[in-house]
Structure 1
Amino acid sequence: METGLNILKLSFYFSLVVVGSCAQAPKPLSQSLGIRPKICDQYECPTYKLVEAGNGYEIRMYNSAVWMSTDPIPAPSMTQATKTGFLRLFSYIQGDNKSKVKMDMTAPVITESTPGKSVYTVSFYLPKKNQQNPPLADGLHVQPWKPTYVAVRQFGGFVSDDSAKKEAAALMVRLHGTKWIMPVEKSKGKSPAYLIAGL
């Protein structure tokens, strides 16, 4: 069954998705409230169904979507790679693509990290009106995603390499003892360590 495969992707197609807010907040949220990120009131976001709101985590089932991703970016830090990738993707939506098409900003922009390597991929959620026929661009590639289960931990403040590792570890701790830990553990070898979504 397709759902079984997607559960294996649970937090690892977005591989330990740790969702970071660009708005300053005093401390990490300890209890998930199942609240839609406020940024999605301003920008188009991928749609999802909240499957479970647990203590310090959410399980979301994201609908299929199309993303535009950078080629792998070698960088000494996630922060630097995110900046480099974001600037390239921002240029892309401003018309620096083969069709010269301008697009609306969306959220999130995600950064994918692979353990043990200083290589990152930054991705931009394409607006629905551009998903059928996304404009192509050098150094970028289209990533269609099937419906995917995602484990999410929301936290305030700006995302750094250290905070990403800390929040990814905290998400794993919160998932232990739940039915979600087994698919997460099984999928670790198939995907990167985590993705950070800047909202």
Structure 2
Amino acid sequence: MVETAEYTVIRKKDEFEIRKYPKMLVATVRSGADSRFNHLFRYISGENKSKTKISMTSPVITSEEIPMTAPVISSGETMSFVVPSKYNIETVPTPSDSRVIIEESPERFIATVRFRGFAWKDEVEKQKKKLYAWLEAENISATSAPFLMQYNPPFLPGFMRRNEIGIEIEYEG
């Protein structure tokens, strides 16, 4: 069984949720290339300084990074694997690939919208708009750009897949 990032549901309405996530570790690669997954997979497969195999977790988190400069010459995406909860910042295996960065994500509130199927670009954009519309209707302010969370292996049929768009929010909970 794959460990899933821990969270508490604060509020639920239809396919929307407001969640509180505790602080957690993530292994992240920032790159415009399609090799982000491969770098992370090699890291958890034992290509780290202690040669430790690390269990796969879910979700795999993908977000677009757009530089806040003009003109925008390039943008890239980040991909992150949640590090299993048995590790902390002192015990997590050190990456041997400098492109893999271990980061501590702080405790935070995240609004999500869940959808099934494949996370094609058009569907992801549609779900982002849906989440933004719900946040506006609920008078909730976003504090980050949206990100995609995918929970299933690539071979799972689309109708069985769990995907979510998440966005950090200001929330008094």
**Paired letter, 1:93:** I
- Select which of 33, 48, 56 maps to 1:105: 56
Q: Does 1:96 align with 2:47?
A: yes
**Paired letter, 1:196:** L
Instruction: Work out the CA distance in 2 between the residues paired with 1:143 and 1:164.
Output: 25
Check whether the contact 1:56–1:174 (CA below 8 A) recurs between aligned residues.
no
Runs of 4+ deviating beyond 6 Å? none
Instruction: Work out the CA distance in 1 between the residues paired with 2:149 and 2:14.
Output: 20
Instruction: Work out the CA distance in 2 between the residues paired with 1:88 and 1:127.
Output: 17
Q: Does 1:53 align with 2:12?
A: yes
The SS at the match of 2:114 is: strand
The SS at the match of 1:176 is: helix
Check whether the contact 2:63–2:79 (CA below 8 A) recurs between aligned residues.
yes
**Paired letter, 1:129:** K
Instruction: Work out the CA distance in 2 between the residues paired with 1:68 and 1:96.
Output: 13
CA RMSD of aligned residues (A): 1.7
Instruction: Work out the CA distance in 1 between the residues paired with 2:15 and 2:134.
Output: 6
Q: Does 1:197 align with 2:149?
A: yes
**Paired letter, 2:26:** W
The SS at the match of 1:154 is: strand
Counterpart of 2:77?
120
**Paired letter, 1:131:** N
Check whether the contact 2:65–2:78 (CA below 8 A) recurs between aligned residues.
no
Counterpart of 1:166?
126
Higher helix share: 1
In the alignment of these two chains, the number of paired residues is 142
Higher strand share: 2
Q: Which runs of 5+ in 2 are unaligned?
A: 67-71, 152-173
Identity of aligned residues (%): 30
Instruction: Work out the CA distance in 1 between the residues paired with 2:133 and 2:139.
Output: 13
Counterpart of 1:141?
101
TM-score by structure 1 length? Answer: 0.66
TM-score by structure 2 length? Answer: 0.75
Which one scores higher on RCO, CA 8 angstroms, separation ≥ 6?
A: 1
Check whether the contact 1:56–1:171 (CA below 8 A) recurs between aligned residues.
no
Counterpart of 2:114?
154
